[in-house]
Amino acid sequence: MTDYEAVIGLETHIQLNTLTKIFCACKADSWNAAPNTNICPVCSGLPGVLPVLNEKAVEKAMLLAAAMHAQIQSLSFFDRKNYFYPDLPKGYQISMYEAPLATGGYLDLPLPQNEARRVRIAKLHLEEDAGKTKNAGGKRLIDFNRCGVPLVEMVTSPDLRSAEEAAQYLTRLRQLLRWLGVSEADMEKGHLRCDANVSIRPRGAAYLNPKTEIKNVNSIDAVREAVQKEIERQAREMEAGHTIESWTLEWDEDSGKLKKMRSKETEADYRYFHEPDLLPLHISEEWKKSILTALPELPLERRQRFVTQYGLPEYDADILTAERSLSDYYEQTVKAYGGDPKKVSNWLMNDVLRMLNEKGMTADQLRLLPAHLAEIIRLIDEGVINNATGKSLLEKVQASGETPAAIVAREGLAKVSDDAAIRSICQEVIAENPAEVENYRNGKATLMGWFVGQVMRKMRGKADPNLARAILEELLAQ
Amino acid sequence: MELYAQSAYELTRLLHSRQVSALEILESVLKRIEAVDGRPGTLDPGEFTEEDRRKVHAFITLTAERARAQAQEVDRKLAAGEDPGLLAGVPFTVKDIFCVQGTPSTAGSRILANFVAPYTATPVARMEAAGGVMVGKVNLDEFTYGSSNESSAFQPCPRNPWNPDRVPGGSSGGSTASVAAREVPLSLGSDTAGSIRQPAAFCGVVGMKPTYGRVSRYGMIAFGSSLDCPGPIARDVRDAALMLQVIAGQDHHDSTAAALEVPQYVALLEGGVKGMRIGLSPDYFRIAIPDIQTGEYALQPLPEAFSAAVHRAAAALADMGAEIIENVPMPNTRYGIPAYFVISRVEAASNLHRFDGVKYGYRTSQPVQDLRSLYRKSRAEGFGLQPKLRILMGMYVSAAQYSEQYYRRALQVRSLIRRDFEQAFDPQGEYRLDALLTPTTPTTAFGFGEVYGDTVLMQYADQLTVPANHAGVPGISIPAGFASDGMPIGIQFLGADFTEEKILRIARAYEIATQSEEWRKACPQERQ
């Protein structure tokens, strides 16, 4: 069998999380709204209406373009893309074609073994969303709520080489969109939509074979699975001596199968022309600058920096930079703590993340601030509290918002390292348990743990266990 | 003089001095409409009678009750000492291409005959907010596609008040007919190639196409979105200035409406023309008609009466201190119509996409098998001939394989036309014009059926008006006497971007210069 490689390009539509739609004052988000309740004359395409551009949508698209290393154009135009469909109330979609918002761009996708795949961006522009159509009981139902929701259409070059890479790209894109705060990027809710163009060729070949387009894939797992199945199908076809036809395929989530929607007809003629109802979009240097000052360090850059600056393993760095506020939290804790960054990482990965998952929160929503966490770690380092107390403090600080030190003082949680206090409790334990004392002295050394436990219990965990053990050993040796 | 025959300006004066009430004005106007307008246009007109022939037929929808409520509100404000606004109590009509909340907004088409707008167009809203009283929606060519009003799906269509066997022009023919017939002093029209100025000339009234962006297009059902301009129609220049004052200005519903301050047009009106440079161009004294077979242009001089009217006006303005600059070259004027044919149709075809029988308007009552046949039948039955011609042409010239050859080329021609104006008006240039003075039309109002049916010839009625739409500059047509056929002649002043106050001032100066001339006493024949 020939060794094939896949050639994959992804066409994504990203719903920007602006307050209002791109050309009118309706709310952008219609989640849970009854059909056709979040509409106005403009987005439902009544006669005589005109679009007015929402600058916030432009600004969010600029942030995304900059993060993708694309060149934001100082002059761009909206065009009309003309076609008939019932959920497109004007009979044309306002999009960008000839002079898009940004050109070029790429994402360096990390691969195992420190390699990276450069995925180039072939297209990046703003457009309005159409409505939704569904068939029910022999009727076609139309919901205009989604009409006019701002979208960025972003299309990659055919640079991805496996189903896994396609999934990775989407994971990184989703991470980036949330990191930038430009989209909720929830694929299940359609904030991030993806069509995949797939072809295969003998490994090492430079030409492109006819591709198929997979539509209606609503999760990253589904993209991985659908693309993998399509690669396998194409390989089987080629091995059988068939040629691949340019079909459009639909992913059926329930059966986990690809279905043929249609053979690709000749390219539709959308009769693009500049939208005369909107002025050319001028993006001045000042505007660009004022928006791009808000461009944060990007997730992949930060991930790399965590490895080099803090000496974290890639694994840690990856998890800590999965989400922006967690990575901010990590860095703030490291700064406040001043000690071993890896120790902070352990606390976050073991305890704070569990807390976040249980509570369904992001790090910036915690009452347990980075300064609190740093203080807890420091209290342990300094021997003021033991490790178990430290962990229990996480919940207590989160619940009360008080500082760890205040809680330690109020609840008397500090370790007792007063030799006399521990010694008297140790004597008590020895006096109360003659049988165990005898066993121990007869050689059952493992009982030492039990004795320490008794002391700790009597002192409600505050005793320094190491000190208790030393005193017990001394007393029992007598 | 009867109230209905008074100017808007005079009516507001009478109202403010409490000599009349807004309701009295309105009732006078409604009576007048009843007397002269005849039956309104409908989709199913039945037999055309001799009685029909003699009436104006400006209206599609009379909104008398709505108007009474508005007039009463104006009277209440006056009584309460509140400011009723610049147009207080002034009745006006609205071309039925503008959406007005709660009223049928038909565009003169079967496909929108049952469409009741849920919102109001910005210029109408501004007139109403200024105390204006809308008495109804008036007829037009279907979707504004025409220069005679004959293409309206609503018949009988408007007739020229000066001669009922002549067309009123178009597409704002209902507007100009209603103003000329003294049904109302003001009407809101729209101008894509001359649709305000040409019927204004044909009907002997004042019509102004403001600079593109001077007046919001929000709520005006689009034809050629890059060319469309709403504008005032009135019987004199002062009223046009008054109305422009009210409707002009920035609008947060229209990003192409300019964020510029609106000058005090009425206050600036009588500043005179001393020192102004007014140009004449040979390219506006001949018209180019293409030979249908060869595509070659034949240049024909304008009828003598038209060039004479323009030269008389130039002489009158020169007497008032203006400097007349002759031989200003406007060489690309002759390409205005062909370029317009392409650009307007590409935009029109796209703008008509939304009328698909799905959401509003006409839907076929025939059984349909699928979505495509729903579209096809609804559009085939709902659109008249003119929209269909524009869709065909627009789809053709914007198709991927022809777009470069037609659409792109037309846009280049458009830039050249714009450059003609820039050079003529350039303050550092050779000509440094304040305005260009031209005839408005190459003919007077033609008879019903004379031109209709020849879409190309019909379009050439706009030859002298369309360059201003390409260039975006303002233009005003004002009456300048009568031709030997007894029909009005219009002359046009074109100005640089956003210099409406200048061309209004020049037009007003011409009115003053000619106010005692005999032809000004003429009135459209009374039909009662």
CATH number at residue A430: 1.10.10.410
10 Å CB burial of residue B259 (0-12, 13-18, 19+) is: exposed
Indicate yes or no: CB of B121 within 8 angstroms of CB of A44.
Answer: no
What's the pLDDT score for residue B6? 97
Question: Over pLDDT 90: what percentage of chain A?
Answer: 77
| H/E stretch holding B525 | none
Indicate yes or no: CB of A46 within 8 angstroms of CB of B119.
Answer: yes
Q: Which of B118, B218, B400 sits opposite A50 (nearest CB)?
A: B218
Give the mutation candidate from B254, B255, B377, B403 for the A interface (greatest A CB count, under 10 A).
B255
Q: Is some CB atom of chain A closer than 8 A to the CB atom of B115?
A: yes
ipTM of the complex: 0.95
**pLDDT > 70? residue A209:** yes
Q: B342 vs B289, B350, B389, B392, CA distance in Å? A: 17, 13, 12, 11
Q: Please report residues of A whose CB lies closer than 8 A to that of B398.
A: 271, 273
| H/E stretch holding A80 | strand A79-82
C-alpha A347/C-alpha A329 separation (Å) is 12
Do residues A238 and A336 both lie within one domain?
no
**DSSP 3-state assignment of B163?**
coil
Active site residue B195: yes
A465-469 average pLDDT score: 83
Do residues A145 and A212 both lie within one domain?
yes
C-alpha A313/C-alpha A113 separation (Å) is 13
Question: What are the tens digits of pLDDT across the range A2-32?
Answer: 899 999 999 999 999 999 999 999 999 998 9
Q: Is some CB atom of chain A closer than 8 A to the CB atom of B226?
A: yes
What's the pLDDT score for residue A264? 65
Active site residue B521: no
Active site residue B109: no
A56: tokens are: 């916030």
Assign A408 a pLDDT band (cuts: 50, 70, 90).
Answer: confident
Q: Regarding beta strands A212-217 and A247-252, do their DSSP bridges make them parallel or antiparallel, or are they unpaired?
A: parallel
Do residues A353 and A261 both lie within one domain?
no
Do residues A50 and A191 both lie within one domain?
yes
Indicate yes or no: CB of B118 within 8 angstroms of CB of A41.
Answer: yes
Q: Please report residues of A whose CB lies closer than 8 A to that of B212.
A: none
Distance of CA B526 to the CA centre of its chain: 24
Among A290, A320, A336, which residue terminates a domain?
A290
C-alpha A312/C-alpha A289 separation (Å) is 33
Q: How many CB atoms lie within 10 A of CB A392?
A: 16
Do residues A322 and A384 both lie within one domain?
yes
- Full DSSP string of B55-103: S---EEEE-HHHHHHHHHHHHHHHHTT----TTTT-EEEEETTB--TTS
* CA end-to-end span of chain A: 80
What's the pLDDT score for residue A139? 87
For chain B, the average pLDDT equals: 96
Token pair 């995949």: residue: A196
Residues whose CB is less than 8 angstroms from the CB of residue A344 and which lie 6 or more positions away in sequence, other chains included: A330, A333, A334, A337, A373, A374, A377
Nearest Cα to Cα of residue A296 among A333, A323, A330: A323
Question: What are the tens digits of pLDDT across the range A59-68?
Answer: 999 999 999 9
Q: Which of A47, A142, A279 sits opposite B256 (nearest CB)?
A: A279
For B101, name the nearest residue in chain A, comparing CA atoms only: A41
Let me know the angle formed at the C-alpha of A219 by A191 and A258, rounded to the nearest 5 degrees: 120
For chain A, the average pLDDT equals: 93
Pick out chain B residues at pLDDT < 50: 527-528
Do residues A180 and A241 both lie within one domain?
yes
A37-42 average pLDDT score: 97
Do residues A132 and A279 both lie within one domain?
yes
Interface of A to B at Cβ within 8 Å reads: 41-42, 44-53, 80, 82, 84, 86, 89-92, 140, 142, 269, 271, 273, 276-279
Do residues A446 and A315 both lie within one domain?
no
Q: A263 vs A214, B60, B371, CA distance in Å? A: 12, 49, 20
The parent domain of residue A398 ranges over: 299-411
Do residues A42 and A188 both lie within one domain?
yes
Indicate yes or no: CB of B255 within 8 angstroms of CB of A49.
Answer: no
What's the pLDDT score for residue B288? 83
Least confident of A163-167, A423-427, B350-354: A423-427
Nearest Cα to Cα of residue B242 among B212, B278, B269: B269
B171 cis-preceded (ω within 30 degrees of 0) = yes
Catalytic residue selected from B171, B175, B187, B477: B171
Least confident of A89-93, A386-390, B35-39, B226-230: A386-390
Question: Over pLDDT 70: what percentage of chain A?
Answer: 99
Q: Which of B347, B353, B375 sits opposite A90 (nearest CB)?
A: B353
**Phi then psi for A340, rounded to 5 degrees?**
-70, 120
User: Quick one: CA dihedral B441, B445, B448, B450, positive or negative?
Assistant: negative
| H/E stretch holding A184 | none
A224-234 average pLDDT score: 96
**Phi then psi for B361, rounded to 5 degrees?**
75, -165
C-alpha A50/C-alpha B354 separation (Å) is 13
Among A251, A272, A290, which residue terminates a domain?
A290
Per-residue HEC secondary structure of A95-148 comes to ECCCCCCEECCEEEEEECCCEEEEEEEEEEEEEECCCEEEEECCEEEEECCCCC
Catalytic residue selected from B95, B137, B209, B502: B95
Do residues A322 and A243 both lie within one domain?
no
Question: CA B446, B452, B454, B460: dihedral to nearest 10 degrees?
Answer: 40
* CA end-to-end span of chain B: 17
**pLDDT > 90? residue A365:** yes
- For residue A259, the distance in angstroms to the closest alpha carbon of chain B comes to 23
Indicate yes or no: CB of B255 within 8 angstroms of CB of A50.
Answer: yes
Indicate yes or no: CB of B347 within 8 angstroms of CB of A276.
Answer: yes
- For residue A47, the distance in angstroms to the closest alpha carbon of chain B comes to 5
The answer to whether A60 touches A178, Cβ cutoff 8 Å, is: no
Among A252, A272, A290, which residue terminates a domain?
A290
What's the pLDDT score for residue B527? 46
Do residues A270 and A353 both lie within one domain?
no
**pLDDT > 50? residue A121:** yes
Number of domains making up chain A? 3
C-alpha A264/C-alpha A245 separation (Å) is 8
Give the mutation candidate from B350, B352, B470 for the A interface (greatest A CB count, under 10 A).
B350
Q: Please report residues of B whose CB lies closer than 8 A to that of A278.
A: 255-256
What's the pLDDT score for residue B66? 96
Do residues A407 and A423 both lie within one domain?
no
What's the pLDDT score for residue A370? 96
Assign A420 a pLDDT band (cuts: 50, 70, 90).
Answer: confident
Distance of CA A365 to the CA centre of its chain: 16
Q: Which of A41, A82, A277 sits opposite B353 (nearest CB)?
A: A82
